[in-house]
Structures are given as C-alpha cells and as structure tokens.
C-alpha cells in the first residue's frame, strides 16, 4: 500500500466504464480509508454509478458531436457559416466601435479543379487552402468557411490599410504550389475587403459588402483584392435590378432576336446565312447592350434559360421563314462557355431542332476560344455529342483569345470568324493583314470556312475578297435586322440564297484531349 496516498485513503477498487461499443471511456473508482475489498453493497453501488456515468458521458459526447456537426465544417474543420456569424457577432460587440475589417475570400476557378481533377482533388485543395488561411490568421481573428469555396476572416483591431496588407499576404500564401496526385496546382483566390464601422456594423452587412467587393476583384481579372466602396454597392444594386428585369424580359416579349446577313464574298448578293443577335429594349433603360445583359445572365445562373430562349426563338423563326418560302440557308447562334457545363445541352439542341422540323445543318453554333480551353468532362461530352449530331461549330472572335492553334484540328470546328477588330485594322496595320492571311491559310489547310466580321468599307471587302475569305458579314452589307425587316431586305433583292450552299467540310475530331 503506497504510504503517499492522500487524505488517508488506504484502498482503491476501480472498474472500467464502457460505452455502447465496448470501448473504455472512463474509470469508476471506490476509495477506502482502510485496507479492504468491496462487499456486495459496494458492488451494487458501483454497478449503478457505472451505468449512470455511461449515460452521462455518452450524452456529453453526443452533445459535443452534434455541436461539431452543427457549427463546424466536416471537411476543413473550420467553423461553418452559422458559427462564423455567432463568433463574428460576438467579436463585433466586443470591439465597441473600434476599427476592424472583414476579408471575403473566394477561390478562382475552383469548379475547374473539381470538374477536371475530380472531387477528391477538389476536397484536398479546399483543406489545403483552409489550412493556409488559418496559418495567416492572428490569434483573436475569426475564421469560417461560408460555403463551397468561400471563406471569411474577421480581423478585429485592424485598420483598413493593415487589412490590405493581410489580404496581399494571404493571396501570396494561397498561391504557393500544391501537388494533388501528379498535378501541381497553384490555387488562386480573389478577396473583398470591407472595414468597420464605416462599411457596416453588423455581420450581415459586412459580409454582403465584402462579397460585393470580391465580385469586383473577380471582374478585374481575379487573384487580387478589392476594397469595398459605396459605388460598388450601387453597381451591385443595378446589377440585381438588371437580373430581375432580364428574368421578366424573357417572358414578357421585351427580348427579341435580330438577324444579320452573312454573304458570299464572291457573290455578295447571295446569302450564306444569318447570325442571330439578342436585343433587349427595356421600357425605361432603352436598348441594353447584349454584352452587358449576357454577362448578367451568366453571373445570375440564367444563361441556360437564356440560351434555350434564343435557340427556341431562332428555330421557330427559321421554320416560319421556310414555311413562307423565305430562303435563309442557316442561322448562327451565339453560345456561352457555361452552356457546355449543362450535361443535357447537346440533347436540348437536338430536341429543339426536332420540334421545329429542322436538321443539324440548319444551325451553326458560335463558340469562343474559352470553350476550347475548358477541358471539363461535361464540355467535352457536349462537344462530342454535338459533333455526332452533325452540328457545325464556328469559332467566334478568332484571334482575340488565347489563340492556341493546337485545338483547331482536334475539335469539330468547321468555321472561323475573324474578329472584327482585325478587319477594322486592315487599313492601318500591316500586322492585321499578316494575321488575316495566316488565318486564311490555316483555315484552308484544315478545310474550314472563314467569316470576315465587321466589314464596313468597300476597301475591307475588296481586300478580303482578294485574299479568298469566303464569307463576309458587316454593316457594309446590312446591320442586324428584325425578322420582318430582314424579309423586306431579302425581297429587295439584296441577297439571294446561294445556288448550292457551300457544305461544311468534315473536320478530324479526336475528343480524347
């Protein structure tokens, strides 16, 4: 018996406490002031107490687990949105008017990692970034994961200038290379900063303003930070108003398609096809540029609905023209990169064609180079399916994007559209001339058509004609017109359908990029 036992205790009888899985979660001990072993009463007391301890300890563990699940993100172990709100609200209350800041961090192109490298890689990236933000935080800062790839960091006792320094360091830290499997990723993020009390005093307002500033950082090219300003708030409100108005416009007839003729350069009186261009006339704002409202549709997740509307309207119009013996050989439709993320996109194109009694060669789908660079499985599957359906793909604004020529022969592209900026530079730029010549050469060798866009002068037309650019489009021939105006234009004898429309040459297509 150890002589050093405290309080005169001379014997101890201990029993393990088990949980329901027969794991030991504690020990119940009876101590005696004399050396002895337990009697029957002691056994009964111990049994009852062990049972009560099991119940109490398991309940405490469940409570902790529920708390963890309710307030912490299971992937990164960071506080979730709910917990972040609570802790940030407490910190703001404790600040009592002293200055601080909130950083809203959003990963750039996270979806691309998820789509191209798989969800396990996406999860690994999120955990690593969470760890990097945690390492950059000071004791007392409040950090949380708000949703998939959004994090918030509240910096109490921090001036706006200090917050900008933190944001800069955070961006550098996040951008350190990180290997997942054999792929080296350089995670990038955009950060919105707002300061309190000037930009808001409650966590809801601060988060909203920091989120708005983050959106501007993304718009300005990503991998940067942006401080909130009242002008940003106004911009966001205008954008939200436009989003609501656009949603309504799709159903109340304010949206229309206009059609711009494309003519054969060798016979400008012959129509090659038309390009459908969206027009929106708002009762108060007047005409809104498609560049503006299409960006809003993309941001607001409305682009699928918008493109369905375009596709449906254009096919209905083409079928109506055909029924009226107005000969329009084909309609070109502009697509957004995001359309290709919709797994059913190619199928929806086939459905709309069938509904209107049209065939694949009646439509040309204009895509931009960003579709080519987006190697997500949904995009590749849609490109492949559209190719199988026999649809013609046209590469719009060619020469302005990344201009990696390697994809040209690997993807089912049958047409290149020379961007109008080159055509318009023709008179004063030798480089524009050289570029157009080489594009025409590449297209010829890959059996692709070329459409020269933005032809405004007789000189531009003549030069393009001389170089063998087969199709021309621009104000010189005709502006985009409402359907009835196009019929009048056609009946005025400005352009007749070609005697034999040039067939889209088949291109080699290897979807395995």
State the residues that interact with Ca ion by CB under 5 A. 334, 366, 396-397
Report the partner that residue 277 touches, choosing among ligand C2E, Ca ion, none (CB closer than 5 to 8 A by kind). ligand C2E
Q: In angstroms, what is the minimal distance from the CB of 227 to ligand C2E?
A: 31
Q: In angstroms, what is the minimal distance from the CB of 424 to ligand C2E?
A: 7
Binding mask 249-268 for ligand C2E (x = CB under 6 A): -----------x--------
Where would I find the H helices in 362-481?
369-373, 377-389, 420-425, 430-445, 458-467
User: What is the secondary structure of 42-54 as a DSSP string?
Assistant: HHHHHHHHHHHHH
Per CB under 6 A, which of residues 475..504 are in contact with ligand C2E? 475, 480
The neighbouring-strand residues paired with 183 are 180
Report the partner that residue 171 touches, choosing among Ca ion, ligand C2E, none (CB closer than 5 to 8 A by kind). none
d(CA 101, CA 78): 19
Instruction: For ligand C2E, give the closer residue by CB, 64 or 459.
Output: 459
Q: Which stretch binds ligand C2E (CB under 6 A): 78-86, 207-215, 317-325, 330-338?
A: 330-338
d(CA 454, CA 354): 33
d(CA 502, CA 499): 9
The radius of gyration of the chain's CA atoms, rounded to the nearest angstrom, is: 33
Report the partner that residue 290 touches, choosing among Ca ion, ligand C2E, none (CB closer than 5 to 8 A by kind). ligand C2E
- Asked if 454 touches ligand C2E (CB under 6 A), the answer is yes
Question: The tokens 């006339």 sit on which residue?
Answer: 281
Task: Find the angle CA(449)-CA(333)-CA(445) to the nearest 5 degrees.
Answer: 15
CB burial readout 28-50, b (16+ within 10 A) else e: beeeeeeeeeeeeeeeeebeeeb
Residue in 3, 40, 184, 291 binding ligand C2E, rule: CB under 6 A: 291
Instruction: For Ca ion, give the closer residue by CB, 228 or 398.
Output: 398
Give every CB contact of residue 217 below 8 A, 6+ residues apart in sequence: 190, 191, 192, 224, 225, 226
Per CB under 6 A, which of residues 389..428 are in contact with ligand C2E? 396-397, 420
Give every CB contact of residue 405 below 8 A, 6+ residues apart in sequence: 442
From first CA to last CA, the distance across the chain in angstroms is: 77
Residue in 264, 294, 365, 386 binding ligand C2E, rule: CB under 6 A: 294
Give every CB contact of residue 232 below 8 A, 6+ residues apart in sequence: 209, 212, 213, 216, 226
Residue in 88, 213, 278, 426 binding ligand C2E, rule: CB under 6 A: 278
User: What is the secondary structure of 376-387 as a DSSP string?
Assistant: -HHHHHHHHHHH
Determine the size of the site formed for ligand C2E (CB under 6 A).
20
Question: The tokens 């900063």 sit on which residue?
Answer: 193
Question: The tokens 């150890």 sit on which residue?
Answer: 2
User: E strands along 33-109, which residues?
Assistant: 100-107
Report the partner that residue 312 touches, choosing among ligand C2E, Ca ion, none (CB closer than 5 to 8 A by kind). none
Q: In angstroms, what is the minimal distance from the CB of 274 to ligand C2E?
A: 12
Report the partner that residue 226 touches, choosing among ligand C2E, Ca ion, none (CB closer than 5 to 8 A by kind). none
Report the partner that residue 310 touches, choosing among ligand C2E, Ca ion, none (CB closer than 5 to 8 A by kind). ligand C2E
Coil/strand/helix, residue 20: coil
Q: In angstroms, what is the minimal distance from the CB of 229 to Ca ion?
A: 33
Instruction: For ligand C2E, give the closer residue by CB, 101 or 367.
Output: 367
Instruction: For ligand C2E, give the closer residue by CB, 315 or 335.
Output: 335
Structure-block tokens of residue 28:
């119940």
Instruction: For ligand C2E, give the closer residue by CB, 285 or 475.
Output: 475
Instruction: For Ca ion, give the closer residue by CB, 216 or 423.
Output: 423
Q: In angstroms, what is the minimal distance from the CB of 316 to Ca ion?
A: 20
Instruction: For ligand C2E, give the closer residue by CB, 38 or 401.
Output: 401
Residue in 336, 379, 382, 414 binding ligand C2E, rule: CB under 6 A: 336
From the centroid of its chain, how far is CA 242? 19
Chain positions contacting ligand C2E, by CB under 6 A: 260, 277-278, 289-291, 294, 310, 334-336, 396-397, 420, 454-456, 474-475, 480
């Amino acid at each position: 018996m150890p002589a050093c036992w405290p309080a005169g205790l001379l014997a101890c009888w201990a029993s393990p406490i088990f949980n329901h899985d027969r794991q030991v979660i504690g020990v119940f001990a009876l101590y005696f002031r004399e050396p002895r072993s337990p009697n029957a009463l002691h056994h009964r007391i111990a049994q009852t107490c062990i049972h009560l301890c099991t119940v109490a300890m398991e309940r405490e563990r469940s409570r902790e687990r529920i708390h963890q699940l309710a307030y912490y993100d299971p992937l990164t172990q960071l506080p979730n949105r709910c917990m972040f709100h609570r802790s940030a609200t407490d910190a703001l209350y404790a600040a009592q008017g002293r200055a601080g800041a909130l950083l809203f961090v959003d990963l750039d192109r996270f979806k691309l990692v998820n789509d191209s490298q798989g969800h396990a890689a996406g999860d690994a990236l999120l955990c690593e970034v969470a760890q990097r933000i945690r390492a950059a935080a000071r004791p007392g800062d409040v950090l949380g994961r708000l949703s998939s790839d959004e994090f918030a960091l509240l910096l109490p006792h921090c001036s706006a200038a200090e917050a900008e320094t933190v944001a800069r360091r955070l961006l550098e830290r996040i951008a350190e290379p990180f290997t997942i499997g054999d792929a080296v990723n350089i995670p990038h993020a955009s950060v919105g900063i707002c300061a309190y009390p000037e930009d808001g005093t409650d966590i809801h307002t601060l988060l909203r303003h920091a989120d708005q500033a983050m959106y501007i950082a993304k718009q300005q090219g990503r991998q940067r930070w942006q401080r909130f300003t009242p002008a940003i708030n106004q911009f966001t409100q205008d954008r939200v108003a436009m989003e609501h108005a656009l949603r309504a416009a799709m159903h109340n007839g304010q949206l229309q398609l206009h059609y711009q003729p494309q003519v054969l350069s060798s016979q400008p009186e012959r129509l090659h096809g038309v390009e459908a261009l969206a027009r929106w006339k708002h009762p108060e704002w007047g005409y809104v540029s498609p560049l503006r409202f299409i960006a809003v549709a993309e941001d607001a997740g409305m682009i699928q609905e918008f493109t369905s509307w375009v596709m449906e309207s254009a096919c209905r119009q083409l079928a109506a023209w055909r029924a009226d013996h107005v000969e329009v050989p084909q309609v070109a439709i502009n697509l957004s990169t995001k359309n290709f993320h919709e797994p059913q996109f190619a199928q929806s194109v086939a459905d709309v064609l069938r509904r209107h009694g049209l065939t694949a060669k009646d439509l040309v789908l204009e895509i931009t180079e960003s579709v080519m660079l987006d190697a997500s499985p949904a995009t590749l599957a849609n490109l492949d399916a559209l190719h199988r359906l026999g649809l013609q793909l046209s590469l719009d604004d060619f020469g302005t994007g990344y201009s990696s020529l390697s994809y040209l022969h690997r993807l089912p592209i049958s047409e290149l559209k020379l961007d109008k900026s080159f055509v318009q530079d023709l008179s004063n730029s030798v480089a524009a001339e050289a570029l157009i010549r080489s594009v025409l050469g590449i297209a010829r060798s890959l059996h692709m058509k070329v459409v020269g866009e933005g032809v405004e002068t007789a000189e531009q037309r003549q030069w393009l004609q001389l170089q063998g650019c087969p199709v021309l489009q621009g104000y010189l021939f005709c502006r985009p017109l409402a359907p009835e105006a196009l019929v009048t234009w056609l009946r005025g004898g400005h352009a007749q359908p070609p005697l034999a429309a040039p067939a889209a040459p088949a291109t080699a297509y290897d979807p395995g990029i």
